């Protein structure tokens, strides 16, 4: 009987001891998990740290701090070369107060040692050790509450007097995702678009996202202001001189070979347009491009220029012989930023004499009669809407929605007839622009315009940029033949294409 | 000896019990710290990358590593050998898969759970073992190579990641480019913190309810519209009222098919007015989601002169619609039709006049060939029923409707389907097909087509 009792007692003792060991293993595993997480997770730890030197604070109750795993008690070293860092967690959903996690010790070896020649090393070599591990601190909390309280008090004192360093690795504020892209409520999108696409100079506005980040490798330096700014391609040229910056307005010159509303390429329009462009900002006491009302106006004169035979020999224009003459006259082209919450608006008018006209091109029509067509007047009014796929504004969109009109007059030389207006119709016009500008650097652009049952597609790609002043772009465009309607007598039966190289200086 | 045994036993129990209780309190406290260390991203849980590992050999590889590392737990306690053997059988049979979820802001795994096949997609699934919620611990169990394979999905898997195709209405600008019904909202304002007044330009090509679908109408109506929302909503159909004012212009047809014997032309300048809204709730608060609309076109300037129609070489007859009136009621959100969308039912009446005119280049004025008829006799009346489903959220939004009508004076019935399908509320197609039935050839207007197919691509940009 005694033997049985003794065996039973021994068995129960064994079971109890085993359970004890299991519980302690569980505890140790949990400690290990936390220690590992604190050591390895560099991104997601929502923890803070605060630095101090032992000789700068009162260390009451923090002598001979007991440690776990048979390590000797710890004492803060008051030497100048020693500094300490308390890692802690602020109050959160689980804890109502600060939770101390670790204490790290940094020893500046360079400060205490000198090299062979007796001079101190210029580069500091710092050695960092965790002197009080998470387990040490938790054991203090459970077994030495006075010591823990002293450490906690020290932490609170340091937090009260200094700003703790956030150890969270992820940039939560910079990685804010939105369900949709963004659109600016000021002139930012307008300026971004014009800076990249306009043939005239626009002041570059620093993006909000770029303001926060310091300049990174590969990012271009701010372009030094140059006296001249030139933008030239095979179809147009614009130039600006610094003395024409009047403060509230800049004035620049432009010559181009195109006709904006008509579905024709430069040189195909058989006209030359030249004039001035003015960028006016209407501001209050101080100029603020992001908020000011901006008007970009071009006032130009247009003259007919017989390029019909030249077009066939130009290697960058792929069109059949032009049939439509464009009259001489006045051109007004306006773009304005938002007023009273309205969208950005654009207005273009080209108008000239409708009666007296000597055509550059006559041709024999299907009836065998000698005829000439010319367009004395074109206008277009549209609203521009901008949006970006994200806050970095890398992919930028603009959609112009509006209406446009052109009139066509016909002279029949075979019948000796007078000038008759045969076409004058207001039609919807839509243009979608897409720009790719990583880090606010112009790189690629495209546009798709649908007007008068013809699609005009344009692309440009930056080829090279050097000295931050000179850049070259390759440009190409294609105008489709009319679709979903019959071809008019003055129109080409096939699509036409054009390419160019654009040089920009000082932009 | 007996007393000693009892004393020893009591001591052992007391010490063991106390020690266990203390440790469990400590562990619980530590668990709280462990779970609080990470930056909390609970609001993004459904948007984090998540997937199911269903490669059977890879699952065995992972399972085996958990066994070897003795890492399986159920309610934080080690599992028994019998239970493990039983679950191993499920692994052999491929009944257990692994659910994985990544953290939101970086590439580490934050959730890793063995899950029985039948528990997938349940709201509160029962996992086979306690899921691992720490990627760094998981890395230790699996080792770096396997952990990276899991993270990079270098095996067979099924993606469960929710793609955020939420359709939210913006009130800054709204470009709805649909040739049949374009709408460009370009200005907005509010008189308090909740409501919105939106100003838009609108277009309208034809009217299905009087059987003049766009393309065939030869007339385009355009104008300006004000829409009022008493409370801004993510569903723009929840507007309070809308008032449209417009006018008409001649329009050409994009496709030229076999034209009817007599064309339908525009013969004057018209005023277009439409008022619509959820007005029924003012009669009784329970009468919500009724979209009531009154719409009319009235030609106030008649093109009576021959020159108003341009110079044509020969005499010809044509028809023209000068006035129409439509009253329609639609009950929205009747019920959810098999998750296909909200069923809608409506109907109404309409009246439209038709003038039979003649152009003669030799004459100064246009001739009314039915001059003896009174204006009232020139009207024909329509009754129609309109029903379908509408879905406004998710990846694909659609509005599929059937319209059945009858023209009393014209002696014909007509029916058609209207389909508007949008992808992410950005790209879409508007297609309408109409046909006639029970046509009395003697009464049937010579300008009408027997069937119509009209469509338009849609691009919508809304911020």
Query: Each residue of A108-146: pLDDT tens digit?
Result: 877 555 554 444 545 558 889 999 999 999 999 989 999
Q: What is the pLDDT of residues A341-390, one digit of tens each?
A: 888 999 999 998 777 678 889 999 888 899 999 899 999 999 999 999 88
Q: What is the pLDDT of residues B51-96, one digit of tens each?
A: 999 888 999 999 999 999 899 999 888 899 899 999 999 999 889 9
* C-alpha–C-alpha distance, residues B249 and A324, integer Å: 27
Q: Is any Cβ of chain A less than 8 angstroms from the Cβ of B36?
A: yes
Residue B35 main-chain phi, psi, to 5 deg: -75, -15
Distance from CA of A33 to the nearest CA of B (A): 6
Q: Is B194 exposed, middle or buried (0-12, 13-18, 19+ CB in 10 A)?
A: exposed
Distance from CA of A314 to the nearest CA of B (A): 35
β A363-364/B355-359 pair status: unpaired
Q: Which residue of A has its CA nearest to B163?
A: A179
Instruction: Answer whether residue B21 shows pLDDT above 60.
Output: no
Instruction: Answer whether residue B347 shows pLDDT above 90.
Output: yes
Closest of B181, B182, B269, B192 to residue B230, by C-alpha: B192
Interface mutation target, options B107, B112, B173, B307, chain A, most CBs of A under 10 Å: B173
Mean pLDDT of chain B: 87
Q: B9 and A12 in contact by Cβ < 8 A?
A: yes
Q: Which residue of B has its CA nearest to A166?
A: B39
Beta carbon pairs, A and B, within 8 Å: 161
Instruction: Give the one of A170, A179, A385 whose C-beta lies nearest to B461's C-beta.
Output: A385
Q: Which residues from chain A sit within 8 angstroms of residue B36, using beta carbons?
A: 46, 89, 92-95, 99
Q: Is the dihedral of CA A383, A389, A393, A394 positive or negative?
A: negative
In B101-140, the residues whose Cβ lies within 8 Å of chain A are: 103, 105-106, 108, 134-137, 140
| Position A157 confidence tier, pLDDT thresholds 50, 70, 90 | very high
The pLDDT of residue A236 is 95
Q: Which residue did the predictor score with more confidence, B281 or B271?
A: B271
* C-alpha–C-alpha distance, residues B289 and B344, integer Å: 10
Q: B175 and A93 in contact by Cβ < 8 A?
A: no
Q: What is the pLDDT of residues A39-88, one digit of tens each?
A: 999 889 999 999 999 988 888 889 999 999 899 999 999 998 999 999 99
Q: Is any Cβ of chain A less than 8 angstroms from the Cβ of B21?
A: no
% of chain A at pLDDT higher than 90: 50
The pLDDT of residue A124 is 58
Distance of CA B180 to the CA centre of its chain: 19
In B162-191, the residues whose Cβ lies within 8 Å of chain A are: 164, 166, 168, 170, 172-173, 175, 177, 184, 186-189
The pLDDT of residue A175 is 63
Q: A170 and B137 in contact by Cβ < 8 A?
A: no
Give how far Cα A487 sits from Cα of A145, A362, A449, A493, Å: 93, 18, 18, 7
* C-alpha–C-alpha distance, residues B168 and B6, integer Å: 74
* Number of C-beta neighbours around residue A198 at 10 A: 17
Instruction: Give the one of A5, A30, A399 whose C-beta lies nearest to B5's C-beta.
Output: A5
Distance from CA of B249 to the nearest CA of A (A): 10
Q: What is the pLDDT of residues B378-424, one digit of tens each?
A: 899 999 999 999 988 777 899 999 999 999 888 889 999 999 999 88
Q: Which residue did the predictor score with more confidence, B215 or A446?
A: A446
Which structure tokens are listed for A281? 């900002």
* C-alpha–C-alpha distance, residues A503 and A150, integer Å: 70
The pLDDT of residue B27 is 81
Q: Which residues from chain B sit within 8 angstroms of residue A43, using beta carbons?
A: 103, 105-106, 108
Distance from CA of B24 to the nearest CA of A (A): 7
In the block, which residue shows the tokens 């990846």? Answer: B395
Mean pLDDT of chain A: 85
Q: B23 and A342 in contact by Cβ < 8 A?
A: no
Instruction: Give the one of A23, A179, A484 whose C-beta lies nearest to B23's C-beta.
Output: A23
Q: What is the pLDDT of residues B301-318, one digit of tens each?
A: 998 898 888 778 889 898
* C-alpha–C-alpha distance, residues A416 and A382, integer Å: 39
Q: Is any Cβ of chain A less than 8 angstroms from the Cβ of B28?
A: no
* C-alpha–C-alpha distance, residues A297 and B272, integer Å: 36
Q: Which residues from chain A sit within 8 angstroms of residue B34, using beta carbons?
A: 30, 33-34, 37
Q: B33 and A401 in contact by Cβ < 8 A?
A: no
Average pLDDT over residues B122-140: 92
Q: B30 and A93 in contact by Cβ < 8 A?
A: no
Q: Is any Cβ of chain A less than 8 angstroms from the Cβ of B16?
A: yes
Instruction: Give the one of A95, A172, A399 whose C-beta lies nearest to B461's C-beta.
Output: A399
Q: Is any Cβ of chain A less than 8 angstroms from the Cβ of B254?
A: yes
Q: Which residue of A has its CA nearest to B251?
A: A427
Q: Which residues from chain A sit within 8 angstroms of residue B108, using beta carbons?
A: 41, 43-44
Q: B23 and A27 in contact by Cβ < 8 A?
A: yes
In a 3-state reduction of DSSP, which class is residue A218? Answer: coil
* C-alpha–C-alpha distance, residues B351 and B349, integer Å: 7
Instruction: Answer whether residue A485 shows pLDDT above 80.
Output: yes
Q: B39 and A40 in contact by Cβ < 8 A?
A: no
Distance of CA B236 to the CA centre of its chain: 11
Closest of B176, B171, B183, B179 to residue B217, by C-alpha: B179
Distance from CA of A59 to the nearest CA of B (A): 26
Q: Which residue of B has its CA nearest to A168?
A: B39
Instruction: Answer whether residue B18 shows pLDDT above 60.
Output: no
Most confident of A281-285, A430-434, B118-122: A430-434
Q: Is the dihedral of CA B338, B339, B340, B344 positive or negative?
A: positive
Q: Which residue did the predictor score with more confidence, B147 or B444?
A: B147
Using N-to-C axis directions, what is the helix angle for B81-92 and B56-68, rounded to 10°?
A: 170
* C-alpha–C-alpha distance, residues B142 and B122, integer Å: 27
**What interface predicted TM-score (ipTM) does this complex get?**
0.71
Q: Which residue of B has its CA nearest to A174?
A: B105
* C-alpha–C-alpha distance, residues A335 and A261, integer Å: 15
The pLDDT of residue B447 is 81
Distance from CA of A484 to the nearest CA of B (A): 5
């Amino acid at each position: 009987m005694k033997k049985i009792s003794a065996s039973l007692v021994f068995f129960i003792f064994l079971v109890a001891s085993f359970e004890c060991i299991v519980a302690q293993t569980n505890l140790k595993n949990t400690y290990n998990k936390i220690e590992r997480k604190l050591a390895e997770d560099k991104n997601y730890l929502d923890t803070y740290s605060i630095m101090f030197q032992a000789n700068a604070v009162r260390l009451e109750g923090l002598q001979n701090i007991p440690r776990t795993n048979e390590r000797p008690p710890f004492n803060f070293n008051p030497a100048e070369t020693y500094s300490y860092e308390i890692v802690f967690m602020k109050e959160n959903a689980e804890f109502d107060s600060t939770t101390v996690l670790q204490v790290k010790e940094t020893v500046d070896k360079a400060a205490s040692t000198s090299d062979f020649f007796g001079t101190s090393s210029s580069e500091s070599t710092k050695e960092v050790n965790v002197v009080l591990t998470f387990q040490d601190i938790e054991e203090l909390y459970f077994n030495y509450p006075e010591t823990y309280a002293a450490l906690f008090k020290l932490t609170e004192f340091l937090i009260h007097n200094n700003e703790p360093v956030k150890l969270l690795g992820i940039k939560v504020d910079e990685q804010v995702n939105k369900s949709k892209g963004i659109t600016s409520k000021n002139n930012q999108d307008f300026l971004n678009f014009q800076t990249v696409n306009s043939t005239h100079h626009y002041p570059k506005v620093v993006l909000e996202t770029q303001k926060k980040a310091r300049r990174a490798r590969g990012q271009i330096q701010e372009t030094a202001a140059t006296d001249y700014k030139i933008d030239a391609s095979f179809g147009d040229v614009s130039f600006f001189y610094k003395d024409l910056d009047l403060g509230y307005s800049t004035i620049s010159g432009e010559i181009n070979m195109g006709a904006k509303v008509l579905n024709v390429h430069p040189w195909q329009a058989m006209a030359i347009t030249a004039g001035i462009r003015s960028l006016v900002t209407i501001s209050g006491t101080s100029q603020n491009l992001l908020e000011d009302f901006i008007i970009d106006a071009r006032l130009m004169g247009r003259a007919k220029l017989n390029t019909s035979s030249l077009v066939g020999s130009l290697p960058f224009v792929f069109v059949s012989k032009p049939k439509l003459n464009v009259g001489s006259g006045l051109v007004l082209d306006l773009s304005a930023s938002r007023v009273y919450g309205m969208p950005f608006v654009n207005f273009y008018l080209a108008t000239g004499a409708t009666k007296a006209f000597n055509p550059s091109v006559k041709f024999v029509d299907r009836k065998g009669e000698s005829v000439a067509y010319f367009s004395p007047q074109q206008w277009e009014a549209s609203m521009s809407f901008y949006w970006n796929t994200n806050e970095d504004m890398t992919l930028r969109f603009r959609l112009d929605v509006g209406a446009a009109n052109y009139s066509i007059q016909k002279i029949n030389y075979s019948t000796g007839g007078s000038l008759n207006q045969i076409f004058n119709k207001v039609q919807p016009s839509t243009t979608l622009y897409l720009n790719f500008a990583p880090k606010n650097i112009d790189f690629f652009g495209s546009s798709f315009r649908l007007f008068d049952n013809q699609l005009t597609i344009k692309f440009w790609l930056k080829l090279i940029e050097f000295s931050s002043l000179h850049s070259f772009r390759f440009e190409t465009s294609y105008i489709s033949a009319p679709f979903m309607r019959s071809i008019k007598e003055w129109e080409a039966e096939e699509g036409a294409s054009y390419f160019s190289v654009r040089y920009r200086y000082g932009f | 000896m007996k007393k000693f045994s009892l004393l020893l036993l009591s001591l052992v129990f007391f010490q063991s019990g106390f020690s266990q209780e203390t440790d469990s309190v400590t562990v619980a406290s530590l668990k709280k710290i462990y779970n609080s260390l990470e930056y909390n991203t609970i609001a993004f849980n459904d948007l984090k990358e998540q997937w199911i590992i269903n490669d059977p050999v890879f699952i065995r590889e992972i399972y085996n590593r958990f066994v070897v590392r003795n890492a399986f737990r159920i309610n934080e306690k080690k599992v028994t050998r019998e239970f493990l053997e039983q679950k191993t059988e499920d692994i052999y049979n491929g009944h257990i898969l692994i659910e994985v979820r990544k953290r939101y802001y970086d590439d580490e795994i934050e959730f890793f759970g063995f899950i029985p096949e039948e528990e997938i997609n349940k709201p509160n699934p029962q996992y086979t073992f306690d899921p691992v919620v720490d990627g760094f611990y998981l890395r230790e169990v699996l080792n770096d190579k396997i952990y990276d394979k899991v993270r990079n999905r270098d095996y067979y898997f099924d993606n469960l990641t929710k793609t955020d195709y939420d359709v939210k209405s913006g009130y800054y600008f709204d470009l709805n480019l649909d040739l049949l019904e374009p709408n460009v909202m370009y200005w907005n304002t509010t008189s308090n913190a909740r409501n919105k007044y939106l100003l838009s330009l609108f277009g309208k090509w034809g009217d299905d309810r009087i059987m003049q679908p766009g393309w065939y109408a030869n007339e385009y109506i355009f104008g300006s519209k004000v829409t009022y929302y008493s409370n801004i909503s993510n569903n723009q159909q929840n507007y309070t009222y809308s008032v449209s004012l417009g006018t008409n212009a001649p329009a050409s047809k994009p496709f030229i098919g076999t034209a009817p014997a007599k064309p339908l032309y525009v013969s004057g300048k018209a005023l277009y007015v439409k008022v619509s809204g959820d007005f029924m709730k003012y009669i009784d608060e329970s009468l919500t989601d009724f979209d009531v609309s009154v719409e009319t076109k009235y030609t106030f300037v008649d093109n009576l002169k021959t020159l108003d129609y341009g110079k044509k070489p020969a005499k010809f007859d044509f028809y023209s619609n000068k006035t129409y009136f439509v009253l329609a009621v639609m009950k929205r959100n009747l019920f959810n039709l098999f998750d296909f969308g909200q069923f809608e039912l409506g109907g109404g009446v309409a009246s439209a006049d038709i003038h039979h005119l003649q152009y003669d280049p030799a004459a100064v004025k246009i001739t009314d060939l039915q001059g003896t008829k009174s204006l009232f006799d020139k009207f024909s009346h329509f009754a129609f029923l309109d029903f379908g489903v509408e879905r406004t959220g998710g990846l694909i939004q659609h509005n599929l409707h059937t319209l059945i009508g009858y023209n009393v004076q014209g002696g014909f019935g007509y029916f058609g389907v209207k389909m508007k399908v949008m992808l992410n509320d950005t790209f879409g197609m508007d297609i309408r097909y109409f046909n006639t039935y029970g046509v009395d050839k003697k009464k049937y207007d010579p300008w009408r087509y027997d069937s119509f197919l009209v469509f338009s691509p849609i691009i919508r940009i809304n911020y």
